[in-house]
């Protein structure tokens, strides 16, 4: 819920999710419904011949979610356009930027872009924060170190990135890749490869204090957001939101495991949906951080 509201404030300057609002709950259900459909197996991906039959009803349900979300976005866009016509002060948010930009976008492109921002950003950001907190609870001595990069290395939100498609027949590292083949890049394996990282399975944030390695696509051993022209468009947003959320959680509070759990017993098993998530969520208790009280 927090992530959805942070995204909606960045894009529209409004809270889209409120526990007491039926319409906001509907919006939340639509976003999570799309992510659930995208995160489960589709028979048509394995048997293209039956794609037109939509045996699982996934296309029907997903198209329904898309129509409802586009309707919500249309209402927000129309409202902003009306405010602009009346001469009201702008919010200087993402919606203002795409409405006033030099390259005018048609309504379908705007709706698709906004939907990608919500659907692509919600799960990946919330799970990244969850993984960082899980690693910190398991390794409490690292609370003050550079933890985000190390967590992304071990727990890439998109383990296989987005699929690529070969435009021509090609050969790579001795492997023949036929034209139109779907290609998956295993970012999870790259982040744990022993030839690229010392003690690859150990959570060791200080490795990034010793190496000038960024996740913006220049270093191919560390590409949680992809690289090149098809790099994740949400990288600038995620690189700001994740540190902001973690700073809010860690600055004023110390965190302790609930129910007497010991750090070494924290379970970091994962499960794959739209993004890589903790298989067993961890309960933690915030304790006021006396070091920062009054600052």
- pLDDT tens track for 2-52: 788 888 888 888 887 766 666 667 777 888 888 778 777 788 877 878 888
C-alpha neighbours within 13 Å on the C-beta side of residue 290: 0
Cα–Cα dist 287/180, whole Å: 54
Helices (H) and strands (E) in the chain, counts: 10, 8
Strands 164-165 and 182-183: antiparallel
Q: With a threshold of 0.85, does the pTM exceed it?
A: no
Give the closest residue to 146 by CA, choosing from 257, 277, 250: 250
CA-derived radius of gyration, the chain: 21
Cα–Cα dist 153/141, whole Å: 19
Cα–Cα dist 33/23, whole Å: 15
Say if CB 83 and CB 70 are below 8 A apart.
no
Q: pLDDT in tens for each of the 295 residues of the chain?
A: 678 888 888 888 888 776 666 666 777 788 888 877 877 778 887 787 888 888 899 999 999 999 999 999 999 999 999 998 888 887 888 898 888 876 678 899 899 888 888 887 888 888 899 999 999 999 988 877 788 999 999 999 888 888 888 999 999 889 999 998 888 899 999 999 999 999 999 999 999 988 889 999 999 999 999 999 888 888 888 898 899 889 888 888 888 999 889 999 999 998 877 788 888 989 999 987 665 444 4
Q: What are phi and psi of 171, to 5 degrees?
A: -130, 135
Our CA angle for 195, 196, 201, nearest 5°, is 90
């Amino acid at each position: 819920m927090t992530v959805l509201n942070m995204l909606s404030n960045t894009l529209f300057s409004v809270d889209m999710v409120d526990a007491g609002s039926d319409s906001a709950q509907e919006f939340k259900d639509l976003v999570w419904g799309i992510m659930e459909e995208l995160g489960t197996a589709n028979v048509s991906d394995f048997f293209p011949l039956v794609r037109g039959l939509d045996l699982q009803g996934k296309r029907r349900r997903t198209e329904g979610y898309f129509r409802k979300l586009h309707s919500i976005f249309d209402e927000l866009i129309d409202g902003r356009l009306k405010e602009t016509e009346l001469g009201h002060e702008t919010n200087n948010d993402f919606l203002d930027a795409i409405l006033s930009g030099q390259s005018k976008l048609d309504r379908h492109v705007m709706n698709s872009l906004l939907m990608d921002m919500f659907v692509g950003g919600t799960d990946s950001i919330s799970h990244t924060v969850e993984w960082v907190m899980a690693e910190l609870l398991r390794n409490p001595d690292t609370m003050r170190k550079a933890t985000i990069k190390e967590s992304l290395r071990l727990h890439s939100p998109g383990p296989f990135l987005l699929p690529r498609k070969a435009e021509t027949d090609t050969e790579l590292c001795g492997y023949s890749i036929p034209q139109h083949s779907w290609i998956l890049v295993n970012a999870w394996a790259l982040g744990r490869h022993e030839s690229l990282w010392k003690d690859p399975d150990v959570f060791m944030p200080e490795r990034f204090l010793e190496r000038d390695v960024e996740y913006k696509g220049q270093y191919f051993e560390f590409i949680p957001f992809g690289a090149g022209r098809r790099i994740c468009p949400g990288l600038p947003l995620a690189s700001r939101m994740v540190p902001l959320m973690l700073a809010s959680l860690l600055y004023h509070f110390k965190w302790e495991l609930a129910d007497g759990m010991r750090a070494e017993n924290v379970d970091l098993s994962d499960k794959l949906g739209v993004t890589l998530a903790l298989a067993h969520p961890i309960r933690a208790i915030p304790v006021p951080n006396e070091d920062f009280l009054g600052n």
